[in-house]
Structure 1
């Protein structure tokens, strides 16, 4: 029986569909919504990278607020409370590592814009291949 579900979300329509799927298919499960912000890259230049490193978690939490608010509204419509979590780093790696504490993972097939589609598609593929629990990819 699936008791705990991790739903990886960004601000895309596919992520919203993933949450809707999780809420519908696993109505009695504890659902945690995870937002993963990418970490600064050396390609940004060392000065910018250093400036961002100090506040990257605060920025990630700020970015996640609207996503969590929308997710909470969807869940509230079904009378469900969500847990939320934020991480900074590689989205696929973060999802895979956290999946160990859940019975299933649900995520969207890709993000909204082309860059996000390519990145999220790659994330979905990597998570599907490496997660230690069943993964559902929603389109």
Structure 2
């Protein structure tokens, strides 16, 4: 039985479909919506990294706000009494998802993002998560 589901969301239609699918298939499960924000690159230089470091967590949370609001709306529209928590991670999406996956029974991820660039990048993320995850992965189109 699946009782804990990780749903990475990037704000794309496919990530929303993934959450809708998960809510339909696992209505009794606890859900965590994970949004991954890239962190400043070391190539920016030490001074830039220090200047941004104080506000990066708050900025990441603010960036994720609309995505989490949409996730809450999707869960509210679903049947059942779904428990939803949200989490922001900094870093590379594949690593962030894989690092959290072992705490869940399954990962439900959208197949790709909305724009052509997002399709290439997020499709690559979905494929890598599928290949490397320690738990089963459902890829939703």
Shorter-normalised TM range: over 0.9
Pairing partner for 1:110 from 109, 112, 129: 112
Alignment gaps of 5+ in structure 2: none
TM-score by length of 1: 0.93
1:55-109 deviation line (CA, Å, top 9, x unaligned): 2111110011111111101101124331111111111001001001000001111
Return the alpha-carbon distance in structure 1 between the equivalents of residues 123 and 52 of structure 2: 26
The structural deviation recorded for 1:46 is: 4.5
- SS for the counterpart of 1:24 is helix
SS at match of 2:127: helix
- Aligned-pair Cα RMSD in Å: 1.4
Residue 64 of structure 2 corresponds to 64
Query: 5+ unaligned residues in a row in structure 1: which ranges?
Result: none
1:28 maps to what in 2? 28
Equivalent pairs, count:
139
Tell me the secondary structure at the aligned position of residue 76 of structure 1: helix
- TM (normalized to structure 2)? 0.91
Aligned to 1:49: 49
Per-residue deviation at 1:113? Answer: 1.9
